[in-house]
Amino acid sequence: MTLLPGLKKFTEGTFAGFFNQKSNITIDKKFIVFGIRDMEESLKPIALFIVMRYIWNIVRTKIKKRILVVDEAWWLMQSEDGASFLFSLIKRCRKYWMGVTTITQDVEDFMGSGYGKAIITNSSLQMLLKQSTAAIDVLEKIFDLTKQEEELLLSAPVGEGLFFAGKKHVYINIKASYTEDQIITTSPQEVEKIKEARRKLK
C-alpha cells in the first residue's frame, strides 16, 4: 500500500507527462541533444537514466559509428543503479561502435560512487580544467598529480588545464573559434550581446 502513493505522481500526477506515455523521439539526425536542464531537480537523475537507456537500446539494434556525450554525469552517479548502468555502458560501448564522453563539474559527487574511479580508469583520455581546493585532494590520488599540476588546476584561467593520455600529463589551452564561442558560451553578458546582434539583423 505504501508503494502506490509514491508511484501515483509518475502515472497520474505532476510527472505523468514525462513518464506515462510512449516516446515520440527519433534519433535519425547527425546531432541530437536531450535537454533536461529545466526539469525539477528530483526528476533529473531519473530522466537522464531513461534517456540513456533509450539511447543504449537504439545503439544495440542499429549499429553505426556514434559518440555519446553525457554532460553533468554526476546526476547518474547519485544512485547505485545509475552509476552501475553508466559504467556498464562505457565498458560495452566499443562493441557497438560507440564512444562515450562523460563531463562533470562536481568531481566529489562523481567520485562518491565506487564506479567513479572505475569509469575514469577505463577512459583512454581525460581532461581536467580548473578545480576547487576540496576536489584537488580527490584528484591528486587518482591522477597522481604533481604539486605543480595541483597549483595549475587551482589557478587555471578559463580553457586551461591538464590533458591525460595513459600515464602522460600535458598542459592544454583550449581556444574556441568565434563560431564555437557563439554556440557554447554561457556567460550572461555574451548571451545578451548575441541576442542583441540577432535582433539588429531582423
Domains and CATH numbers, the chain: 7-123 (3.40.50.300), 126-202 (no CATH)
Burial class (CB in 10 A: 0-12, 13-18, 19+), 74: buried
pTM for this entry: 0.78
Q: Which CA distances in Å does 93 have to 57, 88, 100, 163, 164?
A: 11, 8, 7, 23, 21
3-class SS of residue 171: strand
DSSP secondary structure letters along 80-123:
HHHHHHHHHHHHHGGGGTEEEEE--S-HHHHHTSHHHHHHHHT-
Dihedral through CA 140, CA 144, CA 149, CA 154, nearest 10?
A: -10
**Residue type, position 62, single letter:** K
- Sole residue written with cell 560512487: 113
3-state helix, strand, coil split of the chain in percent (to 5) is 50, 15, 35
Strands 125-128 and 160-165: antiparallel
The region, left, alpha or beta by phi > 0 then psi within -120 to 50, assigned to residue 184 is: alpha
> Can you give the pLDDT of all 202 residues of the chain as single tens digits?
567 666 676 677 666 666 666 777 777 788 888 888 777 777 788 888 888 888 898 889 988 999 999 998 888 888 888 889 999 999 999 999 999 999 988 887 788 788 988 998 888 999 999 998 888 988 888 888 999 999 999 999 989 999 999 888 899 999 989 888 888 888 889 889 888 888 888 7
- CA-CA-CA-CA torsion sign (69, 70, 71, 74): negative
For position 185, what pLDDT does the model report? 86
User: 100: which strand partners?
Assistant: 68
Q: What is the pLDDT of residues 127-140, one digit of tens each?
A: 999 998 888 988 88
For position 121, what pLDDT does the model report? 84
